[in-house]
Amino acid sequence: MTAKIIILDFGSQYTQLIARRLRELNVYCEIHPFSKTIDLDESVKGIILSGSPFSVKDESALQVNLDAFIGKVPVLGVCYGAQYIAQKLGGDVVRSDHREYGKAMMSIDRTKDDLLHGLGSHTQVWMSHGDTIKVLPDSFEIIAHTDSIPVAAYRSKEGAYAKPIYCIQFHPEVTHSLEGKALLKNFVTDVCNCPCDWTPASYVEQSVAELKEKIGDDSVVLGLSGGVDSSVAAMLLHRAIGDRLKCIFIDNGLLRKDEFEEVLVSYEGLGLNVKGVRANDEFLDELTDVSDPETKRKIIGRVFIEVFDKEAKQLDNIKWLGQGTIYPDVIESVSVHGPSVTIKSHHNVGGLPAKLNLQIVEPLRMLFKDEVRRVGAELGLPNYILSRHPFPGPGLAIRVLGAITREKVRLCQEADHIYINILKESGWYDKVWQAGAILLPVQSVGVMGDERTYEFTIALRSVNSVDGMTAEWSKLPHEILAQISSEIINKVKGINRVVYDISTKPPATIEWE
Ligand SMILES: Nc1ncnc2c1ncn2[C@@H]1O[C@H](COP(=O)(O)OP(=O)(O)OP(=O)(O)O)[C@@H](O)[C@H]1O
Ligand SMILES: O=c1[nH]c(=O)c2[nH+]cn([C@@H]3O[C@H](COP(=O)(O)O)[C@@H](O)[C@H]3O)c2[nH]1
Ligand SMILES: NC(=O)CC[C@H](N)C(=O)O
Ligand SMILES: [Mg+2]
């Protein structure tokens, strides 16, 4: 049983960061919504209560039953978590007149304390709160303060509870808390006695054993896209059940140039059982004359399911559907704020289970993208798969703006091919997070060899991002942009103009549709 720390999420914008920091310390942790009942088995080594946009003074403040775990496992309350514990155990929290937001210098009163040792007598921390803890509950004591607040950190007195309770008003998970990570390490190792041995290698070993147990002698079908997530999921499942994993890779006619053949070849040495299915016409015919972005996405989602369904039915003894779901997908769907508004209908194969009547297996459900890449490397996936830029399921359909024709897809493929190759040759491919060419439904006048042209425009998009949620346009050197532009215009007949997209997300998005 893997030792873990549970993070109870009260909706702070930093909750994911707490998980990130613990994972960086090789500690396995899970984020649970505040309202979920915790199963306190012996794998749970400690509990962290996150911050929150709510005030403990609000009538609608998020509530949790502290009796379920206080004194039973070590607890760390962060910001709202610290205020909540103070308030519930008999102390007092007041709304203060001014918010304290930003860096603060914290003076440590107990430099030898289990939580604070090694941090020195003063350390810079990051504050983000409006409420202040005024009175501590009985049997608690202050261990650190700042000039503006007396209670920057407090703890249960030695022996008052069977397991200690620590509370901090600042955010150790934010890098501006310069020793925040050291504090979290102290909490995990010295307060919780939790080992820091959770690595990609241990993950592979443990998850292969679990998959074997779970799947038994059944078979699994998985949609393989050539992308990182589904490829790593496939390798992990293959390690567990060998040839009983069947992968289906669909050519929807909207892949990049030569991608279908190249992806199939790239999987060849890996021992995976991959069936490539050409379904270009099914997709492109259905998309004829459709120009609305959401309608395009929905049609593609539906045809994916139809093709997948047809192929899966031809396989024997399939009981499971494998999916490359990763942790940010999971966190998003359990957010305390509920699902956000639909900006774009992201295609995935989520519609499949009900229709195919299969059980779902998601071996990457608890991993962040960089961890997925590390697990992939551990499983021997070559770097050219692991370092691939993300590519959307609907493919070039959302990069050929407006109504799609086969000819327009071809133009977009050719331009994209030139663009990506130059990025690779110049070393820029690995320096940007994602790049692609967009074919605009705009024709303009040009002159080539003394002749008038009236042709299409390509927009180049390249962004830097961590998770795709926010993005900045990449500062590609002008010489590289010049080379890309002239090669596209010279080689791709039908395009006479190239522009560079300099919009950030938000307010723009990465893809144009
Ligand atoms: N051409 C395809 N053939 C079969 N399945 C596909 C195809 N495109 C997408 N899928 C399925 O849809 C899922 C979601 O796609 P998504 O692009 O989010 O992930 P990915 O392709 O695995 O990784 P990445 O985010 O790196 O592109 C994939 O994991 C895969 O199961
Ligand atoms: O699998 C996917 N199915 C989709 O329907 C889809 N739409 C956008 N994307 C990718 O998501 C990231 C953010 O894109 P946006 O800023 O355009 O929303 C970027 O990396 C996009 O490429 C998709 N991926
Ligand atoms: N970051 C937080 O957890 C803030 C808690 C609470 N909303 C406050 O303003 O004090
Ligand atoms: Mg993809």
Half-sphere exposure (Cβ direction) of 262: Cα atoms closer than 13 Å: 11
The CA dihedral of 59, 61, 63, 67, to the nearest 10 degrees, is -80
Contact by Cβ (8 Å): 453, 445: yes
Residue-level pLDDT at 296: 95
Residue-level pLDDT at 94: 96
Contact by Cβ (8 Å): 458, 498: yes
Choose among 390, 391, 413: nearest CA to 400: 413
Residue-level pLDDT at 353: 55
Partner residues linked to 220 by β-bridges: 245, 320
Q: How far away, in angstroms, is 388 Cα from ligand 4 center?
A: 9
For residue 482, the Cα-to-chain-centroid distance in whole angstroms is 34
Residue 188 is classified by DSSP as I
Pairing outcome for strands 29-33 and 75-78: unpaired
Peptide bond into 506 cis (omega under 30): yes
- pLDDT tens digits for 241-266? 999 999 999 999 999 999 999 999 99
**Is-same-fold flag (4-191; 200-386)?**
yes
Residues in the chain: 513
238 has catalytic annotation? no
Contact by Cβ (8 Å): 168, 184: no
Whole-number mean pLDDT of the chain?
Answer: 92
Closest Cα to atom 6, ligand 3: which residue? 55
- pLDDT tens digits for 48-101? 999 999 999 999 999 999 999 999 999 999 999 999 999 999 999 999 877 889
Ion ligand 4 residue ranges (Cβ < 5 Å): 225, 227, 391
250 CA: nearest ligand 1 atom: 3
Q: How many CB atoms sit inside 10 A of residue 13's CB? A: 12
Residue-level pLDDT at 338: 42
Closest Cα to atom 23, ligand 2: which residue? 392
Closest Cα to atom 5, ligand 1: which residue? 223
CA-CA distance, 234 to 322, in Å (whole number)?
A: 8
CA-CA distance, 489 to 510, in Å (whole number)?
A: 24
CA-CA distance, 49 to 52, in Å (whole number)?
A: 9
Which residues does the annotation place in the binding site for ATP? 225-231
What architecture (CATH level 2) is domain 405-500? 2-Layer Sandwich (3.30)
Contacts of 410 (CB under 8 A, 6+ apart): none
Residue-level pLDDT at 334: 55
First to last CA, the chain: 45
CA-CA distance, 40 to 129, in Å (whole number)?
A: 30
Backbone angles phi, psi at 436, to 5 degrees: -170, 165
Which residues does the annotation place in the binding site? 225-231
Query: By three-state DSSP, how is residue 491 classified?
Result: helix
Q: How distant, in Å, are the alpha carbons of 58, 71, 368, 391, 470 from that of 463?
A: 40, 48, 20, 13, 10
Pairing outcome for strands 451-464 and 434-448: antiparallel
CA-CA distance, 191 to 177, in Å (whole number)?
A: 20
Cβ–ligand 2 distance for 293 under 6 Å, the answer no
Residue-level pLDDT at 139: 95
From 229, 262, 264, 385, the mutation candidate for ligand 1 (largest count of ligand atoms within 8 A of CB) is 229
Catalytic-role residue among 29, 129, 167, 173:
173
Average confidence (pLDDT) per 10 residues, the chain, 513 residues: 93 88 93 90 97 93 96 98 98 87 95 96 95 96 96 97 98 93 98 94 91 95 93 97 96 96 92 96 97 94 89 89 83 52 56 70 88 93 92 95 98 98 98 97 94 97 86 97 98 98 93 96
Interface ipTM above 0.95? no
Query: By three-state DSSP, how is residue 375 classified?
Result: helix
3-state secondary structure 140-178: EEEEEEECCCCCCEEEECCCCCCCCEEEECCCCCCCCCC
Ligand nearest to the CA of 251: 1
200-386, CATH topology level:
Rossmann fold (3.40.50)
| Furthest-apart CA atoms within the chain: distance in Å | 90
79 has catalytic annotation? yes
Residue-level pLDDT at 339: 40
Of 3.40.50.300, 3.40.50.880, 3.50.30.50, 3.90.1150.10, which CATH number belongs to 4-191? 3.40.50.880
Contact by Cβ (8 Å): 95, 58: no
What is the reported pTM? 0.80
Cβ–ligand 1 distance for 390 under 6 Å, the answer yes
CA-CA distance, 128 to 123, in Å (whole number)?
A: 16
CA-CA distance, 268 to 282, in Å (whole number)?
A: 26
| All structural domains of the chain with their residue ranges | 4-191, 200-386, 405-500
Cβ–ligand 1 distance for 325 under 6 Å, the answer no
* Token code pair at residue 117: 């040792």
192 has catalytic annotation? no
Q: How far away, in angstroms, is 511 Cα from ligand 2 center?
A: 6
Q: How distant, in Å, are the alpha carbons of 260, 323, 393 from that of 266?
A: 10, 20, 19
* Token code pair at residue 147: 């000039």
Closest Cα to atom 31, ligand 1: which residue? 223
